[in-house]
Amino acid sequence: MSGGFDMGGSWSVRFPQHEGIKCYALVSGQCWLCVEGVADAVRLEAGDCFLLPRGRPFRLASDLALTPVDAHTTLSAPLHGCIASYNGGGDCFGVGGYFAFAVNHAGILLGVLPPIVHIRKEADKAAMRWSLERMMQELREPQPGGFLVAQQLAYMMLVQALRLHLAEGLRGGVGWLFALADKQMSAAIHAMHDAPAQRWTIQELAERAGMSRSTFALRFKEAVGESPMEYLTRWRMLLAGDRLANSSDSISVISLALGYESESAFSTAFKRVMGCSPRQYSRGRKQASASSGEGEAARAHQLEAVAG
C-alpha cells in the first residue's frame, strides 16, 4: 500500500505492530520517531527516509511528551493512495508505503536489517528527492492511474533506501544483502539462487567468484555470516517451504527439484533449518492461510458495512 500523512499542530500518533516492512520519508516538517524496543528516539527532518523492517509498534510525534493516540481510529482517510490527515495538516507531511510479502521467507531480507534504517545524509536525500516529490504530486493531485504510479514510486523509494543502507553498511555489514555489493560474493550467491538443485561444491562456487577455494570459503563466511554450503542449504529449504505452502507438489517431487535424491535426506535437512518436518510445515502453513482468508473476508465485510 502507498499513501501519505499530513499532520498539523501538536500531535502524537501510535501505530500498531505490522507484518512486512514500512518505508516512509518526510517531504516537509519535522517529527520524532520512537520504535518499541529501541532506546533512543530518532529526530526526522525534511527529506529523511526511514524503514521499519521488524514490524514493531512505533510512534510518530511532534512532541514526545504528548500522550499518543491510535492511528487507526484517529487518522482520516487511511486508504491506499490517500493522504491521512490530523488536526487539519500543514506542519509535517510524509509519503511512502507498506510492503507485505507473499512468500514466507521474507526473514532472509528482514533479518539482516536493524529495527530502524534511517537515511539522512544530504547526498542520500538528494538521490531520493525526485521520487518523493513525484509521489507527493500524485497523492495531492489525483489523476487516472494515480494508484499505480504511487505504488511504483513507493517501490522505487524502498529499493533506493535499501541501496543507500547497503552502501552505508559495506564497512563491516554482515549478511547476504551486504555480500551482494561485493561482485565476487554476488557471483557465487546468484549462481546458487539461479540453480539451487545443482550439486555445487566450494571449488565450483570459488571459480564463479574468480577466487581460490580457501580464500573464497573464508571471505564468504566473513561476508555472509555462514559457510557457502550452509547458505545453499538454507536457501533450498526456504524455496521448499514456499512450494510446500503454495503448491500441490509432493515432498518427493520437491526434494528432487532441489537436488536431493533421497526424501529422507531432504526431510532431515528441512527439519534442521526450518524447525519441523516438511509435512508439519505444510499443514501449519495451509491452516494459517485458511485462517488468514477467513480474517480477510471478515475485514472486507466490515469495510463494506462502513462504506454502505
Question: Which residues, in sequence order, are bridge partners of residue 173?
Answer: none
Closest to 231 (Cα-Cα) out of 243, 216, 242:
216
Query: Cα dist. 275→29, 261, 267 in Å?
Result: 46, 21, 11
Q: Residue 288: left (phi > 0), alpha (psi -120 to 50), or beta?
A: alpha
Q: What is the rounded CA–CA span in Å between residue 230 and residue 48?
A: 37
What are the residue boundaries of the structural domains of the chain, listed by start? 2-168, 176-284
Digits of tens for pLDDT over the chain (308 positions)? 777 888 999 999 999 988 888 888 898 999 999 999 988 999 999 988 888 888 889 999 999 999 999 887 776 554 445 778 888 888 998 888 888 776 656 666 666 677 888 888 887 777 777 777 777 777 777 778 777 787 787 888 788 777 777 776 555 556 777 777 788 998 999 999 999 999 999 999 999 999 999 999 999 998 888 999 999 999 999 899 888 888 889 999 999 999 998 999 999 999 999 889 999 888 876 565 555 444 444 443 333 333 33
Q: Which CATH code of 3.10.20.30, 3.20.20.80, 1.20.140.10, 1.10.10.60 fits the domain covering 176-284? A: 1.10.10.60
Helix (H) or strand (E) holding 28: strand 21-28
CATH 2.60.120 given to domain 2-168: yes
Confidence (pTM) = 0.62
Q: What is the DSSP string of 168-217?
A: HTTTT--SHHHHTTSHHHHHHHHHHHH-TTS---HHHHHHHHTS-HHHHH
